[in-house]
C-alpha cells in the first residue's frame, strides 16, 4: 500500500495488538469470523459499492491491518442498521467491529470532519444534528421556536455537558470542552 | 389519562417539526397526555458517542432515560436512530452491570441515577400494542380511502432484535406498519425489498451518491411491484431519504416518477383529523393528490 | 424345446418412465420359445421374485429372462430365486434395460422402447442355449496376512487375532507404528499420537495369534483365495533379534553417522540403529550400505570396524553386551499359507523438491510431515520449535495448503487431511507460543468431519490468520534469510505478502513406493492416481479386484486416522467372514479346456491375468489346464484360443453368437 500505488497488502506490517485493541473496544468475538460472507451480502455499504464493507473490514481487522482500516473512511459509512448482527451465523456481531474500529480511529483523530462536527454540536447544543433556521420551520407548524429539550434549558445543558466531560470525550475531543 | 414521554431527538424538532406537530396531535387524539422530557438531548446518534466509547454512549443515553424515569413515564420516539441508540444502551447496561455501575458514577455528578425502569417505544410498536389497532380504527376521522401505502419500517426499528422490548414476529417480513396503515383505511401490500436499507444515515453523509443510488434501487422496486400512492415510514431518517432524498434524485433527473412520503405519525394524525397543511408542512414531494384522495376526491 | 419366461421390471419410474412396457411385453411374446411374459413394479422385490418362482414350480417355464437392471448388483438375487424354485441357477439371463437403456435414453421414449426389445431378444437368444452349471467349493486356509504395520494394519490384525484367526503381520520397517507414530498430536482431540498408539503396538506384538514379521517384504505370491502361498523376504538385520535386548549400546558406539530417514533426514542416526525410542519390537538393525564393516569388507576383504561387536577395549568401551551382532546374517525367505490378505501399506508425502516456486532449497521451507517431526518430542529438536537453518525460534510461520494436491500437474485429488493438520499445527504452536504469528494459506478450508468445524473456529479464536483463496504463488529467500511469501487473499480481494521465518508446505499424500508392484503380486489393481482400487466405492469399499484380497487405510486413498481405523476393522470383518467358514465357493462361470482339441500352442498361458492356466501333460502331450479356483471368468483365453478348445461356461461361443445375431437382426 505504501509502495507508491503498488497494490499489495504487506501482512508483515500488520499489528497484532490491533486485534486485541478492538476486542477491548467491544469487538470481543471478532476472531470467530470464518468469512462466510453472509454479512457482505446484506450490508448497505457493500450493496452501495463501498470498497471496504463489513466482511472485508472484519477480515482486515483480524489480520491486524490497522493503518489500512484507519486511513480508509469506509467504517464511517456504516449505517448501524444491525442487519449483520441479526444474521451473523457465528454471532460475532459485525457492527460492533465497526464501532470498535471507529473507537480506535477516534483515539488517533482519524475520522471524517463531519464526525467532529456532530460531536461538537452534541457537546455545545446537546444535539448532534443542529441545523440553522429551524425556528422558522417550527413556527410554520405552530410550535414554539425552540423544542423543550436541552436547547431551551441552560441548567440541564450544563449538566449534560458535565456528563460528557466525564466520559472519554474529555480525552479525545479535538475541541475545547468548556 | 395515560401519560407518555415524547422523546424528540434532533431531526424531528429541527428538520421535520411537521412530524413533531403530527405526533403531538395524534397522541392527544388517542387520549395520551404528553409529558415533556425537559432537558433531553440527542439520543446520542451512532456517529457520535457510540463511536467513541460504550460507557460514554450509555451515559449519554442514560441521561435521557433518567429524565423519563424521574417523571415515571415510558418514552416514545419517532426516529429509528433514537429508538436504536436508547434501546441498545439500555441493553448493554442490563447485560453488563459493570457498565451500568460506571454510568451511574458519572450520573451521580449531576445527582442522577439510572435505574432501568423506562421502556422505549417507537410509533409502530406503540400504535400496534399500546394503542391497539381497534382503538386506532375507532378513532378515525378521515378514512384513508384505500390509498396504497408502501411501508418502510426502517432498519433501526427492527434490529438488533436482541435489544428491543417488542418486535415483529419475523423481522425480515415486517407486517405491523402494514397493519396499522390498513387499520386506518389504507392498503399496504408487501413488496420484496421491504426490509432494504433506504441509504439515509452515515452512508448518506459519507458517500452521498452511492447512498442515493441504493435508495433509487429500492424505490424502483417499490414502483414496479406495488406502484403506491404514498410511502409511509416508521422512522424520521427514512422519511428524510424518501422525501428530500427523492426530491434530490428528481432534481438530478435520475427519477421520472414521484412517490410522496410521510412518517406514520403524520399519516395517522391526518386520519385523526389533523390539519394536512401543518402535518405535511416540510414535505418536498407534494402530497396534494394523496390528501385529496383521503378527503374523498379522486 | 426350452420354455422361456420373460419378466419385465418397471423399476418404479426408472424403466417405465422411458420404456413402453406394454409394447415391449407384446413384442416379447412373439419371440421364439417364449411361453409367457409378465411385468411387475419391482421385479427384485419379494412379490416380484415370487411371480418367477411360482411359474417355475408350476412347470410353466424352465428358462428365465429378467429384463431389468444390471446383473452386477441383481443377478445373484434372481439366481437364488431360480434355485429355490428348483431350477438350475444358471438358466437365467438378464437384459439390462435400465442402465443401458432407459437411463441413457430417457429423452427418447420410442428409441428406448425399441432398444429394450432388442436387448430382450438377445437375452432370449442366449438363454436358449444355457447349460446347467454347478458352483464348487474349495478348502479355506484359516489364516490372514496383513501387509503393513501402521495403524490400519495393526487394528485389522488385532481384530482378526481376537476372532481366533492366525495373523501374519508383515512390516517393511524395523518397527511397526507406521506414519501415525511419527505424528505429534492428532486432530480433533489433540491426543498425543504416541501415547495412544504405543499400547496398541505392544498389544499387537504380544498377541498370541499375531506373528509379527518386521523388516520384511512380500516377495512372491502364488495360489488364490483360500489358499494363498506367500513368500516373505525377511531382510538381514545383522543383529540376532533373539539375543538383542534393545539396550541401544550399538546405536551409541557405532561410528558411522547417516541421515535419519525417520526424521526426514533432519538429524542423524548411526549405521546400527533402533528406528525410534518406542519401537516395537525394540530391536536394533545394521544398515548394511552405510556400515563401515561391510564397506571395508567389500573394498579390501578386511573388516575396518567391528566396534558394535567388540567395543573399543583400549578406551574401556564394551561392545554389544548380548553378543547379538551377526555380520554373517542373510536375507531369509519364508513361505506362508493364508486364506486371505489385507493390504494396509499406507502412503508417503510428496517431497518439497517438486515445488520450485517455493524455494525448496531453503532449509526453512519444510513439508508438513517434517514439521510434524520438529514438533515431536522424539524429533530432531526434541520438540523444541527451531528453524532448521540457524536453530532460532521462528516468530512468523506461513503454512501453505494443497501443495501438490488439487493440482493437475501432480495429483488432482484433495489430500483430505491437510486443512485439519495445518489447523492442528497452528493450535499446537499458538497454545505453546501465544505470540507466534501464523498465516495459513488455504484455497478453501475443508473441515468436514466430526468436531472438525469446532476445531477450526477454536483455532481462529487463538488468533491464527486464515487467508483463503490464497494459494501462494511464490516463496523467496531474502538476503536476511527470511522468506517472502506472496499470495492472494480473496477476502481482502487483494494480493498480499509477508515475511516469514519458516514456511510449512502441506504436500500431498501419495501412494507409498511399491504400491502398484505389491498390488500386481496379488492381481489387485490401482486407480489412476496409483492408490489400490476398491471394487465399488459404496458397496464394496474394502474389497480389491482380487478375491480374498482386501485393503484398508491410505493405500486406498488419503484419509485420516479415524477413517483408516474404521476401514481396517471393516476389512478385518470382511476377511474373517470369508475365512471363518473354512470353505470357499467358486462360481461356475469359468473357462475349461477341451484337451482333445487343444493344440498345445500355449497362447492362453501368458494371456491369463490370474495365472490360472498352465501346460500339463495329457496323453503324452503338454496341454493347457485351467485351475478352476484361480479362474476369475474373464473370458480372455476363450476368445484367444485359435483351436476354439476353451469353453467359457455361461458364455459359450454358441450363446454369444446367438446373442449377437439377435441384436443385429433388423
Percent of chain B with pLDDT over 90: 96
Most A CBs within 10 Å, among B9, B18, B47, B68, to test the A interface: B47
Q: Cell 540457524 appears where? A: C390
Residue B132 within a domain: no
A151 and A82 belong to one structural domain = no
CB contact under 8 A, C457 and A11: no
Residue A51 within a domain: yes
CB contact under 8 A, C489 and A9: yes
Q: Does A8 touch chain C (CB under 8 A)?
A: yes
Contacts of A51 in chain B (CB under 8 A): none
Interface of A with C in 71-90 (CB under 8 A): 90
Kindly state the cell numbers that stand for B237.
431518517
CB contact under 8 A, B20 and A143: yes
Instruction: Give pLDDT tens digits for C138-156.
Output: 889 999 999 999 999 999 9
Q: Among A65, A80, A107, give the residue marking a domain's end.
A: A107
Average of pLDDT values for C182-200? 95
List chains touching B (3+ CB pairs under 8 A).
A
Q: Among A107, A137, A154, give the residue marking a domain's end.
A: A107
B184 and B282 belong to one structural domain = yes
Q: Using CA coordinates, name the residue in chain A closest to B35.
A: A148
Contacts of A16 in chain C (CB under 8 A): 435, 437, 463
* Chains C and A lie in contact, requiring 3 or more CB pairs less than 8 Å apart: yes
Q: What is the CATH number of the domain that holds B194?
A: 3.40.50.11810
Contact C18, C76 (CB under 8 A): no
Interface of A with B in 120-139 (CB under 8 A): 122, 126-131, 134, 137-138
Contact B148, B187 (CB under 8 A): yes
Q: Using CA coordinates, name the residue in chain C closest to A31.
A: C461
CB contact under 8 A, A85 and B50: no
Q: Among A63, A79, A107, give the residue marking a domain's end.
A: A107
Residue A18 within a domain: yes
Q: Does C454 touch chain A (CB under 8 A)?
A: no
State the pLDDT at residue A2.
44
List chains touching A (3+ CB pairs under 8 A).
B, C
The architecture CATH gives domain C4-128: 3-Layer(aba) Sandwich (3.40)
Residue A119 within a domain: yes
A102 and A83 belong to one structural domain = yes
Residue B134 within a domain: no
Smallest CA–CA separation between C469 and chain A, in Å? 11
Instruction: Give pLDDT tens digits for C217-265.
Output: 999 998 888 999 999 999 999 999 999 999 999 999 999 999 999 999 9
Question: Helix or strand or coil: residue C232?
Answer: strand
Residue B129 within a domain: no
- Ranges of beta strands (E only) in chain A are 9-10
Kindly state the cell numbers that stand for A45.
455499504
Residue A6 within a domain: no
Contacts of C457 in chain A (CB under 8 A): 32, 34, 90
Q: Tell the burial category of B141 from Cβ atoms under 10 Å away from its Cβ (0-12, 13-18, 19+).
A: exposed
List chains touching C (3+ CB pairs under 8 A).
A
Instruction: Give pLDDT tens digits for B5-49.
Output: 999 999 999 999 999 999 999 999 999 999 999 999 999 999 999
A127 and A103 belong to one structural domain = no
Residue B131 within a domain: no
B36 and B164 belong to one structural domain = no
Q: Does B65 touch chain A (CB under 8 A)?
A: no
Q: How many domains does chain B have?
A: 2
Contacts of A96 in chain B (CB under 8 A): none
Residue A3 within a domain: no
DSSP β-ladder status, C494-500 and C272-273: unpaired
**What does residue B225 show for φ and ψ, rounded to 5 degrees?**
-85, -40
CB contact under 8 A, A32 and C460: yes
Residue A4 within a domain: no
Q: Does C439 touch chain A (CB under 8 A)?
A: yes
Q: Does A108 touch chain B (CB under 8 A)?
A: no
**How many contacts does A have with C, using Cβ atoms within 8 A?**
58
Percent of chain C with pLDDT over 70: 100
A23 and A95 belong to one structural domain = yes
State which fold the C347-510 domain adopts: FAD/NAD(P)-binding domain (3.50.50)
Question: Helix or strand or coil: residue C663?
Answer: helix
Smallest CA–CA separation between A57 and chain B, in Å? 16
Q: Does B171 touch chain A (CB under 8 A)?
A: yes
Equal CATH topology for C143-235+515-583 and C347-510:
yes
Q: Among B72, B89, B121, give the residue marking a domain's end.
A: B121
Q: Which of A16, A35, A90 has the CB atom closest to C468's CB atom?
A: A35
- Ranges of beta strands (E only) in C181-225 are 185-186, 191-192, 210-213, 216-224
B12 and B99 belong to one structural domain = yes
Q: Does A50 touch chain C (CB under 8 A)?
A: no
Q: Cα B258 vs. chain centroid, distance in angstroms?
A: 22
Of B47, C116, C260, the closest CA to residue A129 belongs to: B47
**pLDDT beyond 90 at B297:** no
Smallest CA–CA separation between A101 and chain C, in Å? 17
CATH number given to C590-648: 3.30.70.20
Residues of the domain holding A39: 11-107
State the pLDDT at residue A1.
41
Q: What is the mean pLDDT of chain B?
A: 96
Q: How far apart are CA A3 and CA A22, in angstroms?
A: 27
Instruction: Give pLDDT tens digits for B128-181.
Output: 999 999 999 999 999 999 999 999 999 999 999 999 999 999 999 999 999 999
Contacts of B86 in chain A (CB under 8 A): none
A16 and A90 belong to one structural domain = yes
Q: How far apart are CA C309 and CA C316, in angstroms?
A: 14
State the pLDDT at residue C104.
96
For the C143-235+515-583 domain, the top CATH level (class) is: alpha beta
- Exposure of C508 in the CB half-sphere (CA atoms within 13 A): 21
Of how many residues is chain B composed? 298
A55 and A91 belong to one structural domain = yes
Instruction: Give pLDDT tens digits for C554-610.
Output: 999 999 999 999 999 999 999 999 999 999 888 789 999 999 999 999 999 999 977
Count Cβ atoms below 10 Å from residue B9 Cβ, excluding itself.
31
Residues of the domain holding B250: 142-294
What's the 3-state SS for chain B? CEEEEEECCCHHHHHCHHHHHHHHHHHHHCCEEEEECCCCCCCCCCCCHHHCCHHHHHHHHHHHHHHHHHHCCCEEECCHHHHHHHHHHHHHHHHCHHHHHHHHHHHHCCCCCCCCCCCEEEHHHHHHHHHHHHHHHHCCCCCCCCCEEEEECCHHHCCCHHHCCCCCCCCCCCCHHHHHHHHCCCECCCCCCCCCCCCCCHHHHHCHHHHHHHHHHHHHHHHHHCCCCEEEECCHHHHHHHHHHHHHHHHCCCCCCCCCEEEHHHHHHHHCCCCHHHHCCCCCCCCHHHHHHHCCCC
**pLDDT beyond 90 at C120:** yes
Interface of C with A in 487-516 (CB under 8 A): 489, 491-499
Kindly state the cell numbers that stand for B197.
436499507
Q: Using CA coordinates, name the residue in chain A closest to C461.
A: A31
Average of pLDDT values for C513-525? 95
Interface of A with B in 31-70 (CB under 8 A): 44-45, 47-50
**How many contacts does A have with B, using Cβ atoms within 8 A?**
215
End-to-end CA distance of chain C, in Å?
25
Q: Which of A7, A32, A55 has the CB atom closest to C494's CB atom?
A: A7
CB contact under 8 A, A35 and C461: no
A17 and A96 belong to one structural domain = yes
State the pLDDT at residue A6.
65
CB contact under 8 A, A9 and C460: no
State the pLDDT at residue A5.
58
Q: Which of A103, A118, A153 has the CB atom closest to B47's CB atom?
A: A118
Which ipTM score applies to this complex?
0.94
Kindly state the cell numbers that stand for C119.
436387448
A16 and A82 belong to one structural domain = yes
Smallest CA–CA separation between A41 and chain B, in Å? 12
CB contact under 8 A, A128 and B55: no
The dihedral built from the CA positions of residue A37, A38, A43 and A47, taken in this order, carries a sign that is positive
State the pLDDT at residue C471.
83
Q: How far apart are CA C518 and CA C121, in angstroms?
A: 44
A49 and A124 belong to one structural domain = no
State the pLDDT at residue B291.
95
Residues of chain A with pLDDT under 70: 1-6
Give the residue extent of every domain in chain C: 4-128, 143-235+515-583, 249-330, 347-510, 590-648
B172 and B282 belong to one structural domain = yes
pLDDT tier for residue B216 given thresholds of 50, 70 and 90:
very high
Residue B257 within a domain: yes
CB contact under 8 A, A79 and B213: no
- Ranges of beta strands (E only) in C225-354 are 227-234, 257-259, 268-270, 272-273, 285-286, 332-338, 340-343, 347-349
Kindly state the cell numbers that stand for C575.
476377511
Contacts of A8 in chain C (CB under 8 A): 486, 494-497
Interface of C with A in 212-231 (CB under 8 A): none
A103 and A15 belong to one structural domain = yes
Q: How far apart are CA A123 and CA A118, in angstroms?
A: 9
Q: What is the DSSP letter of C526?
A: B
B147 and B290 belong to one structural domain = yes
Q: How many domains does chain A have?
A: 2
* Chains C and B lie in contact, requiring 3 or more CB pairs less than 8 Å apart: no
Question: Helix or strand or coil: residue A29?
Answer: coil
Amino acid at each position: 500500500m505504501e509502495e507508491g500505488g503498488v497494490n499489495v497488502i504487506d501482512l508483515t506490517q500488520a499489528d497484532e495488538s490491533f486485534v486485541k485493541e478492538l476486542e477491548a473496544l467491544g469487538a470481543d468475538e471478532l476472531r470467530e469470523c470464518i468469512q462466510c460472507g453472509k454479512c457482505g451480502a446484506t450490508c448497505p455499504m457493500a450493496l452501495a459499492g463501498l470498497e471496504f464493507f463489513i466482511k472485508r473490514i472484519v477480515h482486515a481487522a483480524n489480520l491486524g491491518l490497522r493503518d489500512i482500516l484507519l486511513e480508509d473512511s469506509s467504517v464511517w459509512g456504516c449505517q448501524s442498521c444491525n442487519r449483520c448482527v441479526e444474521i451473523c451465523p457465528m454471532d460475532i456481531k459485525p457492527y460492533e467491529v465497526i464501532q470498535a474500529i471507529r473507537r480506535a480511529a477516534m483515539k488517533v483523530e482519524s475520522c471524517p470532519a463531519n464526525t467532529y462536527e456532530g460531536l461538537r454540536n452534541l457537546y455545545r447544543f446537546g444535539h448532534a444534528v443542529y441545523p440553522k433556521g429551524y425556528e422558522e420551520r417550527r413556527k410554520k407548524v405552530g410550535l414554539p421556536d425552540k423544542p423543550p429539550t436541552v436547547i431551551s434549558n441552560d441548567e440541564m445543558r450544563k449538566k449534560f455537558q458535565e456528563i460528557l466531560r466525564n466520559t472519554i470525550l474529555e480525552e479525545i475531543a479535538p475541541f475545547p470542552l468548556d | 389519562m395515560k401519560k407518555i414521554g415524547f422523546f424528540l431527538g434532533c431531526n424531528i424538532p429541527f428538520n421535520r417539526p411537521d412530524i413533531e406537530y403530527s405526533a403531538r396531535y395524534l397522541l392527544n387524539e388517542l387520549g395520551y397526555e404528553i409529558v415533556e422530557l425537559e432537558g433531553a438531548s440527542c439520543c446520542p446518534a451512532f456517529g457520535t458517542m457510540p463511536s467513541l466509547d460504550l460507557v460514554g454512549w450509555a451515559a449519554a443515553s442514560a441521561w435521557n432515560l433518567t429524565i423519563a424515569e424521574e417523571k415515571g413515564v415510558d418514552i416514545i420516539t419517532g426516529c429509528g436512530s433514537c429508538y436504536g441508540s436508547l434501546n441498545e444502551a439500555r441493553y448493554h447496561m442490563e447485560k453488563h452491570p459493570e457498565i451500568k455501575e460506571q454510568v451511574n458514577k458519572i450520573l451521580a455528578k449531576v445527582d442522577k441515577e439510572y435505574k432501568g425502569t423506562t421502556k422505549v417505544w417507537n410509533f409502530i410498536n406503540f400504535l400496534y400494542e399500546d394503542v391497539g389497532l381497534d382503538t386506532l380504527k375507532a378513532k378515525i376521522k378521515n378514512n384513508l380511502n384505500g390509498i396504497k401505502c408502501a411501508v418502510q419500517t426502517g432498519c433501526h426499528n427492527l434490529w438488533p432484535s436482541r435489544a428491543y422490548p417488542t418486535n415483529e414476529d419475523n423481522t425480515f417480513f415486517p407486517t405491523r406498519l402494514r397493519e396499522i396503515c390498513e387499520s386506518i383505511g389504507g392498503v399496504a401490500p408487501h413488496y420484496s425489498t421491504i426490509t432494504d436499507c433506504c441509504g439515509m444515515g452515515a452512508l448518506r453523509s459519507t458517500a452521498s451518491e452511492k447512498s442515493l443510488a441504493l435508495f433509487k434501487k429500492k424505490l424502483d422496486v417499490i414502483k414496479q411491484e406495488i406502484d403506491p400512492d404514498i410511502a409511509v415510514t416508521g422512522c424520521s431518517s427514512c422519511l428524510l431519504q424518501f422525501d428530500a432524498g427523492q426530491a434530490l434524485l428528481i432534481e438530478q433527473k435520475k427519477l421520472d416518477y414521484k412517490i410522496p412520503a410521510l412518517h406514520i405519525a403524520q399519516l395517522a394524525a391526518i386520519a385523526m383529523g389533523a390539519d394536512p397543511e401543518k402535518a405535511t408542512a416540510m414535505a418536498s414531494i407534494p402530497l396534494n393528490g394523496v390528501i385529496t384522495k383521503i378527503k374523498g376526491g379522486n | 424345446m426350452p420354455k422361456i419366461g420373460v419378466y419385465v421390471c418397471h423399476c418404479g419410474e426408472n424403466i417405465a418412465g422411458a420404456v413402453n412396457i406394454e409394447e415391449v411385453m407384446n413384442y416379447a411374446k412373439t419371440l421364439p420359445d417364449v411361453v409367457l411374459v409378465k411385468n411387475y413394479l419391482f421385479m427384485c422385490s419379494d412379490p416380484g421374485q415370487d411371480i418367477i418362482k411360482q411359474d417355475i414350480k408350476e412347470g410353466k417355464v424352465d428358462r428365465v429372462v429378467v429384463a431389468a437392471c444390471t446383473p452386477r448388483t441383481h443377478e445373484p438375487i434372481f439366481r437364488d430365486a431360480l434355485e429355490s424354485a428348483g431350477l438350475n441357477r444358471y438358466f437365467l439371463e438378464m437384459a439390462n434395460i435400465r442402465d443401458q437403456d432407459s437411463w441413457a435414453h430417457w429423452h427418447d421414449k420410442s428409441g428406448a422402447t425399441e432398444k429394450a426389445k432388442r436387448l430382450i431378444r438377445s437375452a432370449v437368444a442366449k438363454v436358449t442355449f444355457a447349460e446347467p452349471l454347478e458352483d464348487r467349493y474349495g478348502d479355506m486356509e484359516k489364516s490372514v496376512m496383513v501387509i503393513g504395520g501402521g495403524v490400519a494394519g495393526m487394528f485389522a490384525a488385532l481384530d482378526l487375532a481376537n476372532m481366533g484367526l492366525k495373523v501374519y503381520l508383515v512390516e517393511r520397517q524395523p518397527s511397526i507404528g507406521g506414519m501415525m507414530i511419527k505424528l505429534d498430536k492428532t486432530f480433533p482431540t489433540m491426543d498425543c499420537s504416541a501415547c495412544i498408539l504405543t499400547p496398541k503396538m505392544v498389544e499387537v506384538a504380544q498377541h498370541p495369534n499375531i506373528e509379527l514379521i518386521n523388516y520384511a517384504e512380500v516377495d512372491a505370491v502364488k495360489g488364490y483365495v483360500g489358499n494363498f502361498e506367500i513368500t516373505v523376504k525377511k531382510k538381514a538385520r545383522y543383529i540376532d533379534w533373539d539375543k538383542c535386548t534393545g539396550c541401544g549400546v550399538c546405536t551409541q558406539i557405532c561410528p558411522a553417522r547417516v541421515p535419519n530417514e525417520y526424521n526426514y533426514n533432519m538429524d542423524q542416526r548411526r549405521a546400527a540403529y533402533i528406528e525410534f525410542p518406542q519401537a516395537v519390537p525394540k530391536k536394533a538393525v545394521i544398515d548394511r550400505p552405510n556400515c563401515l564393516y561391510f564397506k571395508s569388507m567389500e573394498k579390501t576383504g578386511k573388516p575396518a570396524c567391528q566396534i558394535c561387536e567388540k567395543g573399543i577395549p583400549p578406551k574401556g568401551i564394551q561392545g554389544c553386551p548380548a553378543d547379538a551382532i551377526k555380520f554373517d546374517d542373510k536375507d531369509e525367505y519364508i513361505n506362508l499359507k493364508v486364506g486371505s490378505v489385507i493390504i494396509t501399506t499406507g502412503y508417503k508425502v510428496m517431497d518439497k523438491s517438486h515445488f520450485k516456486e517455493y524455494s525448496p532449497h531453503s532449509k526453512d521451507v519444510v513439508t508438513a510431515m517434517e514439521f510434524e517431526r520438529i514438533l515431536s518430542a522424539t524429533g530432531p529438536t526434541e520438540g523444541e520449535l527451531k528453524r532448521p537453518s540457524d536453530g532460532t525460534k521462528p516468530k512468523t510461520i506461513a503454512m501453505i495448503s494443497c501443495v501438490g494436491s488439487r493440482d493437475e500437474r501432480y495429483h488432482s485429488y484433495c489430500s483430505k487431511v491437510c486443512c485439519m493438520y495445518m489447523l492442528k499445527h497452528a493450535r499446537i504452536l499458538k497454545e505453546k507460543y501465544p505470540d507466534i504469528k501464523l498465516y495459513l494459506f488455504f484455497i478453501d478450508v475443508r473441515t468436514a468431519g466430526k468436531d472438525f468445524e469446532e476445531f477450526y473456529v477454536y483455532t481462529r479464536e487463538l488468533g491464527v490468520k486464515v487467508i483463503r483463496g490464497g494459494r501462494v504463488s511464490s516463496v523467496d529467500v531474502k538476503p536476511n534469510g527470511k522468506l517472502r511469501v506472496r499470495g492472494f487473499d480473496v477476502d481482502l480481494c487483494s494480493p498480499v505478502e509477508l515475511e516469514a521465518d519458516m514456511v510449512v508446505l502441506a504436500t500431498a499424500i501419495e501412494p507409498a513406493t511399491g504400491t502398484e508392484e505389491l498390488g500386481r503380486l496379488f492381481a489387485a489393481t490401482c486407480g489412476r492416481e496409483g492408490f489400490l482400487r476398491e471394487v465399488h466405492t459404496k458397496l464394496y469399499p474394502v474389497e480389491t479386484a482380487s478375491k480374498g484380497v482386501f485393503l484398508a487405510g491410505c493405500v486406498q486413498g488419503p484419509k485420516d486416522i479415524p477413517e483408516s481405523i474404521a476401514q481396517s476393522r471393516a476389512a478385518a470383518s470382511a476377511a474373517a467372514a470369508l475365512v471363518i467358514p473354512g470353505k470357499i465357493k467358486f462360481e461356475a462361470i469359468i473357462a475349461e479346456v477341451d484337451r482333445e482339441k487343444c493344440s498345445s500352442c500355449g497362447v492362453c498361458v501368458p494371456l491369463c491375468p490370474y495365472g490360472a492356466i498352465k501346460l500339463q501333460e495329457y496323453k503324452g502331450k503338454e496341454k493347457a489346464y485351467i485351475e478352476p479356483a484361480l479362474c476369475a471368468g474373464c473370458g480372455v483365453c476363450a476368445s484367444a484360443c485359435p483351436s476354439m478348445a476353451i469353453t467359457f461356461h455361461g458364455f459359450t461361443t454358441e450363446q454369444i453368437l446367438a446373442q449377437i445375431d439377435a441384436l443385429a437382426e433388423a
